[in-house]
Amino acid sequence: MKLRYWLVAFFVVPASLLAGPVFIKAGRLIDGHGGAPLAPAMVRIEGDRITEVGSALPVPAGAQVIDLGGATLLPGLIDLHTHLTIRYGENWEKQLVETTPAHAALWGAYNARLTLLAGFTTCRDMGTTWPYVDVDLRDAIAAGAVPGPRLFVAGSYISTTGGAGDAKQFSDYVQVPLVDNLADSPDEVVKQVRKNFKHGADFIKLLATGAVLSLGITPGAQQFSDEEIQAAVKEANRWGRQVAVHAHGIQGIKAVIRAGVRTVDHGSFLDDEAIAMLKATNRHTFYVPTLYTMVALERDGAHNGVPESELARARMVRVPMQLGFQRALAAGLPIGFATDSGVIPHGENAEELAVRVVLGEAPMAAIVSATSLNAEIMGWGDRVGAVEPGKFADLIAVAGDPLADIKQLTHVGFVMKGGVVYKDELGKK
């Protein structure tokens, strides 16, 4: 018993290296599918997988038991929109002038650990200022060199010239050959999509409209043409991959839904027609808002040196974004869960759950969004997002009941990923 905890404290010890199965006992289990919690709960883990779930499982003599007392056990949380390689408070356009890819990699490792310890065992990372640093971070985490969530990465996000992902601080006389992420025709989009997959991206991120945090761009303006967006989706689909799109303005939102992208991220100016279009896709295209960003920008933006012009845009987007979310809720639209971490402090990801509950979402629906629904959206429904046999043993626990107080999830006390315990402040030792 003691030996196991010592090893765990020392670092990554796969349960499979220890003799026999591992059992976790807890006061209740929220399995990620939205049904009534199971109380009490036991989960049997062998190697990196869950093998059995019940209220009272037989424990073979000598088996390892982690007793979390009255805590609530849940699947590891999933964030569909992170920027792990961005140090919080740092401006991405300045990064290109003042930092190196190594800076992004090291802060990426630091932020990945923070995010994992906050209970997020899987993240879809939406891109890095220095292209493909996320590919290396994903692989280092998978190899066990760095603690962090399972990553699904964008590689090098694609923007139009002068668009939301084009760094605009350089004059036309300054060549920045290291960042080659621009495309201005369907053919150029196809080339960028192929280049991304060649270099290890898991999916494509397209910046379809202006952004809040990008010099001189109106968030509402559509930037890629309908034909360019369609070219990206067609090419990514040929590879069996998906396209995630940054979209604030309503014309851009509708264009990307028509093109058949997987997710509409931010979706700030979502209206009833767009909600009806999303519904009609039959769970092919999902709306993925990022509401806590506005709270963090208002709190920290000025201190972090965000220009007043960009803060003004955040204030302009805030209310429509909240209303869009509430309209989607009222319409019964499945809503993905994401934070845009990097724009919010890494590790504060679960604050987004609290914002959504304040805006009217049921705590259980918010939890389903951040677990099984997000897994479905990523195409990872076979491996993560629920506590059931066959899934990876990605489990978290909180001391109280998150259905009564969603803020419990901002203080995760136990984290296991793939059968390895990374944090345990709840277990009886």
Residues at the site binding Zn ion, with contacts judged by CB under 5 A: 126, 340
Q: Do the Cβ atoms of 151 and 108 come closer than 8 Å?
A: no
Nearer to Zn ion, 38 or 350 (CB): 350
Residues 6+ apart with CB under 8 A from 224: 160, 163, 189, 206, 207, 208, 232, 252, 255
- Least spacing, CB of residue 300 vs Zn ion, in Å: 16
Nearer to Zn ion, 68 or 317 (CB): 317
- Least spacing, CB of residue 340 vs Zn ion, in Å: 4
Quick one: which of 388, 321, 334, 399 has its CA closest to 366? 334
Nearer to Zn ion, 285 or 341 (CB): 341
Question: Please, which residues bridge with residue 153 across strands?
Answer: 125
Q: Between the CA of residue 140 and those of 49, 127, 135, 151, what are the distances in Å?
A: 21, 16, 9, 10
Nearer to Zn ion, 26 or 126 (CB): 126
- Least spacing, CB of residue 323 vs Zn ion, in Å: 21
- Least spacing, CB of residue 81 vs Zn ion, in Å: 6
Nearer to Zn ion, 66 or 80 (CB): 80
C-alpha to C-alpha distance for 397 and 393, rounded to whole angstroms: 13
Strand-strand pairing, 120-125 and 150-153: parallel
Q: Do the Cβ atoms of 288 and 263 come closer than 8 Å?
A: yes
Nearer to Zn ion, 266 or 423 (CB): 266
Count Cβ neighbours within 10 Å for each residue of 103-128 and write b for 16 or more, e otherwise.
Answer: bbbebbbbbbbbbbbbbbbbbbbbbb
Residues 6+ apart with CB under 8 A from 254: 273, 274, 277
Nearer to Zn ion, 28 or 248 (CB): 248
- Least spacing, CB of residue 155 vs Zn ion, in Å: 14
DSSP result, 256-309? HHHHT-SEEEE-TT--HHHHHHHHHTSSSSEEE---HHHHHHHHHTTTTT--HH
- Least spacing, CB of residue 82 vs Zn ion, in Å: 8
Quick one: which of 240, 286, 280 has its CA closest to 267? 286
Handedness of CA 135, 138, 143, 144 (dihedral sign): positive
- Least spacing, CB of residue 297 vs Zn ion, in Å: 12
C-alpha to C-alpha distance for 260 and 204, rounded to whole angstroms: 13
Nearer to Zn ion, 92 or 414 (CB): 92
Nearer to Zn ion, 125 or 136 (CB): 125
Nearer to Zn ion, 126 or 137 (CB): 126
Q: Describe the crossing of helices 292-300 and 308-330 by its angle, rounded to 10 degrees.
A: 160
- Least spacing, CB of residue 266 vs Zn ion, in Å: 8
Q: Roughly how many angstroms between the first and final C-alpha of the chain, as a whole number?
A: 8
- Least spacing, CB of residue 260 vs Zn ion, in Å: 21
Nearest residue to Zn ion by CB is 340
Q: Do the Cβ atoms of 247 and 264 come closer than 8 Å?
A: yes
- Least spacing, CB of residue 251 vs Zn ion, in Å: 20
Task: Locate 14 and state its tokens.
Answer: 């796969």
